[in-house]
Structure 1
Amino acid sequence: MLIESKGFNIRGISYTVRSANQLDADQLSKVRLQIDGETQNLDREQGEAFIDKEGFKELIENDSQSDKNLFLVAEVNHQIVGFSRCEGSDLKRFAHKVEFGVCVLKEYWGLRIGTNFLKESIAWADANDIKKIALSVLHTNEKAIALYQKYGFEVEGILKNDKMLAKGEYYHTVVMGRSMV
């Protein structure tokens, strides 16, 4: 599904949050690869589950046509600096919910890009009768957990020793949800 673009200016940096389009595919492939190497907060190590330009084109096309999916990008000076997705399911038992994921280049952390992705996704979900948004986050990402809680998400469970990160250390995954049921 598509949303209208919105502009933001935080600490003198202007950016736009908008729906992804086909012209973004090449940039998205490169940005995703870079972000995966900048943080351990995501599921992938750099280069894992790589999505090329054609893969992103297909993803954007599917998300744009689906009323259960939303693919957003943040753009600064015509450069994509982050993206988020809400992905729903065609299965009837899961038709009421979507999974939310977000990533932003480290250079642009602190500009409320993730917050604005979340706010736009919640507004979209509410306007489209989506009853639940689910997500997962590392237990060490306290800022993200606090943000999600501020916007009505609750901790629904903890998957202990769910991820093995650098140096073989294990981390817990916090499962969160925002339900309107």
Structure 2
Amino acid sequence: MINIKYKSADKTDIEPVFKLNKALIDEYENMETIDYQKVLSWVRNKIETHIQEYICVVLNEKKVGYYYFHDADGKMGIDDFYVFPQYRNMGIGTEMLKRCISETKLPIFLYVFANNKRAIALYQKFGFQVTEIIKSSRYIMQRI
């Protein structure tokens, strides 16, 4: 078992989390269906407003990922669930997801890009199902 530690994110994590968001948007979003600058502004504001609620994932004293697990109208939402590319395929995402699931009895939902097949496969492994398609580029997946 890998020895992952979790700590609260802080203001120094705003920019790294934003860059991870932007990279996913750049890779997976259909740019013809969004107002790119408006989306980036919304993402930055969400991160800046909630950074103290984000969790920083640490392995061997190095930051390896982030996530934001929060209450959203009687359900729990997972946002900005990231494992840095060089740390993927090590079971870190699996451990992060297990931690979220173990922390609540409420249904859990998340947004994922429809073309992010690796992420979708991970979520499906833990019982998440697509419940909604948004503008053909994103899914809402939920675990009941």
From the superposition, tell whether residues 34 and 121 of structure 1 become closer, same or farther in structure 2 (CA, over 3 Å). same
Matching residue within 89, 104, 109 for 2:83: 104
Q: Distance in 2 between matches of 1:125 and 1:82?
A: 21
Structure 1: which 5+ runs fail to align? 1-7, 10-14, 64-70, 163-170
Contact 2:70 2:77 in 1 (8 A): yes
- Secondary structure, in 3 states, of the residue corresponding to 2:123? helix
Which residue number corresponds to residue 177 of structure 1? 142
The CA deviation at 1:37 is 4.9
Contact 2:10 2:51 in 1 (8 A): no
From the superposition, tell whether residues 108 and 88 of structure 1 become closer, same or farther in structure 2 (CA, over 3 Å). same
Q: Distance in 1 between matches of 2:51 and 2:71?
A: 13
Q: Distance in 1 between matches of 2:5 and 2:56?
A: 6
Moved over 4 A (4+): none
The CA deviation at 1:41 is 4.9
Identity of aligned residues (%): 22
Structure holding more helix per residue = 2
Which residue number corresponds to residue 141 of structure 1? 116
Deviation digits for residues 96-143 of structure 1 (CA, Å, limit 9, x no counterpart): x011120122222222222211110000013xxx2x101111111112
Structure 2: which 5+ runs fail to align? 30-35
The size of the alignment, in residue pairs, is 133
Deviation digits for residues 39-88 of structure 1 (CA, Å, limit 9, x no counterpart): 3358x88x74436x9x47x642xx4xxxxxxx432113433221111121
CA RMSD of the aligned region, Å?
3.0
Which residue number corresponds to residue 115 of structure 1? 94
Question: What amino acid is the match of 2:16?
Answer: V
Which residue number corresponds to residue 14 of structure 2? 29
